[in-house]
Amino acid sequence: MKNLESAISKYHSIKIKHILPPPKTMPVLCFDSKIMEVLEILKTRHHVWVIDCKEDGKLIGVIRYLDVINFLMPPEKHSMFIGNSKKAFVSAFSGAETAGDVMEKSAVTINHEKTVLESLEKMKNYNLQLLAVVNDENRLIGEISLRILINKFLELCF
C-alpha cells in the first residue's frame, strides 16, 4: 500500500508539460479550414482543436464529435432553449462553411506548467475527459486526456 501512496503523491505533482504526447498527433485545423476537413478528421477522432493560424497557433475553439449533429440537421429541427448560442442555428443548410463557423469558442484549457492533480480537478469541475494544453501566450501546445492520465498512473504503479 505504501508504494501506491508514494505513486499517487508523485503522480499528482507531475507537470503536464512532461507527459504531453507529440503535438503532431493532435487533430488541429485553422479557423478558416473548410468544414469538409473538419468532417474528415472527425471520422476517426472525437474532437478538432481550432487555432488562429495567423496568430501563430493561438487556440480559439474546439469542435467535438457530437457538435456535428447540429451541423448536419436542418435549423428547424434544432431544439431551442433560453440561453442557446448561435451554434444551434449553424448548419450546412444555413451556410456554415468553415471550422470557425461551427466551433465552440469556450474550449477548456490548462497551462502546461500546471500539475496532473490540477488537470484532474479541472476535468472533474467541467465534467470533461479532455483539456487543451496552452502555453503562457494561449498557444495550443498539446492536449491532456483522461486516457493519458490513466496510462501515466499505471506506468508509475508498475
CATH of domain 2-157: 3.10.580.10
Share of residues in the chain with pLDDT > 90 (%): 63
pLDDT of residue 71: 76
What does the pLDDT look like over 103-114, one tens digit per residue? 999 899 999 999
Q: Is the pLDDT assigned to residue 82 strictly greater than 70?
A: no
Output the pLDDT for position 88: 46
Share of the chain above pLDDT 70, in %: 86
Q: pLDDT value at position 75?
A: 67
Residue whose cell numbers read 485545423: 29
- The pLDDT tens digits for 4-41 are 888 888 999 999 999 999 989 999 999 999 999 999 99
Instruction: Tell whether the model's pLDDT for residue 95 goes beyond 80.
Output: no
Q: How confident is the model at residue 72 (pLDDT cuts 50, 70, 90)?
A: confident
